[in-house]
Amino acid sequence: MMGANRRFGLVASIALTVASTMLWGVAHLAAERRKTGLTLMFAYVLMLAAVLGVFTAFSANLLSLAVQPRWLTWLTVALVVIALMWTGVIIWSFLLVRPDRSHTVSRFLTTVLTIALCALVLVPSVYAARLAYVSRDVVTTLFAPSDNTTPVLAQDPWNGAERVNFLLIGGDSAPKRPGVRTDSMTVASVDVETGATVLFGLPRNLQQVQLPYGPARDLFPFGFTGTGPDTPGLLNEIFQFAEDNPSMVPGVEDGRRGPTLIKQTIGDILGLPVNYYAMVDMKGFAEIVDAMGGVQVTIKAPIVYGKRREGLLPAGTRKLSGDEALWFGRSRTDSDDYVRMGRQKCLLNAVAKQADPMTVLNSFESLAAATKRAISTDLPQDLLPAAVDLAQKVKDTRMRSLSFVPPLIDTADPDWYLIRREVTQALEERSPSPTVQEEPGRTAVDPYAPSPSPALSPNIPINLDTTCA
């Protein structure tokens, strides 16, 4: 066979093996296997062209592809196949150009080099395939497949809506207190064209909340009163109350009743359709912070730390551990619900800003595991690419926020009309003559629409500051 008797020294063997790792077929050409060598070169160039073509064609949509299980599956398979092919070419090249059997030391050195080159190809490829697999697992765990009742169109994924409204919930559970209390509730209303976003914050202790028409309203015709005659019936109790009482939301499965009722209730309060929700369990949120290596925030005033006041988070800019971040967002000692609401927004904002690509990659698997435990949502998988694109638009704009807390709102006796009017003004950039749009089917006797009172319409500015400083 032509070239079978060729001999290669140590230097030539090393050079040809390394060259064949960088360009398939070089060793084959040196061993006078021209047809095989040219075929390998062509396959290598074709593979590189395909990879570059994919990255070029989908450069603007790489994040969108990264949240699609089908693409993640193909990526995992492709990475494994390429890694195995590449490793095979390296070993094949080495076998063609390795030193003669009599040169023991040279053979040993080139063998070690070949193993190292194979590892250089396999390790990052296997790691990338692992990341793709874990990403797919997170996506399929957190996001349910679409039910196909409302198809997602590529050209208009939001079905003609000008704004899409997301309910962001911070859930707080404890071992000695069954159930979940939604202690942080914010609706992010996002313009689908520009990404302009207004955050509407609702306090946990909002009382006399009217529930949606149907079984829930029939049970509490004069507003939600909680679990007994001596309880005030707070907004943060509605989620768990619906989970514990299936008749409140008939026909809805376990785990979905709470989100369904709280979305409808908050949507009625604000006069907005709440399209989707995402809930972060605060204990799981602490695990996410630890997986990131901590989060840096600016603390305006010292915060009591721990259930028995055993510590203190001093004022100043510092990096908090997960447990410290949990208390930063949870503590009400020497404070109140409204200050805590502000700290929770600051904390979420800080985590979002500090979760840079390197931080995510360095702790990807622990972050993925913590995310699966900490987050629940009803955003369907088919909408993830559109949601990622929308998030990029939001990132390029400055968020505005409006919290319905005292003195604007008396939480014990809320003015529902004022809340709706403030929402309308905020979305219309506070035009001089806003008009509240009532939902279809509302009757004239609407608990959220009492007669307007000029005395109850203070011109409260929208807060533009979303930082912790």
Average pLDDT over residues 315-331: 82
Q: Do the beta carbons of residue 204 and residue 403 sit within 8 Å?
A: no
- The span from the CA of 79 to the CA of 73, in Å, is 10
Determine the distance from the C-alpha atom of residue 279 to the mean position of all C-alpha atoms in its chain, rounded to a whole number: 11
- pLDDT band at residue 63, thresholds of 50, 70 and 90? low
pLDDT for position 357: 64
- The span from the CA of 234 to the CA of 207, in Å, is 5
Q: Domain ranges in the chain?
A: 10-142, 165-437+445-456
The residue that leads in pLDDT, 3 or 358, is 358
Buried b (16+ CB within 10 A) or exposed e, 387-417: bbbbeebbeeeebbbbbbbeebbebeebbbb
Average pLDDT over residues 331-336: 68
pLDDT for position 177: 52
Nearest Cα residue to 286 out of 356, 378, 366:
366
The residue that leads in pLDDT, 275 or 152, is 275
Nearest Cα residue to 90 out of 67, 130, 65, 120:
120
- pLDDT band at residue 173, thresholds of 50, 70 and 90? low
pLDDT in tens, 2-18: 444 567 888 999 999 99
Tell the CATH superfamily of the 165-437+445-456 domain: LCP protein (3.40.630.190)
pLDDT above 90: residue 117? yes
pLDDT above 70: residue 449? no
Amino acid in the structure at residue 404 = F
pLDDT above 50: residue 459? no
pLDDT for position 299: 83
Q: Do the beta carbons of residue 278 and residue 397 sit within 8 Å?
A: no
The residue that leads in pLDDT, 237 or 2, is 237
- The span from the CA of 270 to the CA of 188, in Å, is 12
DSSP output for 84-142: HHHHHHHHHHHHHHPPPTT-HHHHHHHHHHHHHHHHHHHHHHHHHHHHHHHHHHHHHHH
The residue that leads in pLDDT, 358 or 468, is 358
- The span from the CA of 7 to the CA of 49, in Å, is 34
Q: Which of 135-144, 161-170, 455-464 is modeled with the greatest confidence?
A: 161-170
Amino acid in the structure at residue 75 = L
- The span from the CA of 140 to the CA of 73, in Å, is 11
The mean pLDDT value of the chain amounts to 80
pLDDT above 50: residue 438? no
Residue 400, classed as helix, strand or coil, is strand
State the angle between helix axes of 337-354 and 322-330 in degrees (0 to 180), rounded to the nearest 10.
140
- The span from the CA of 180 to the CA of 182, in Å, is 6
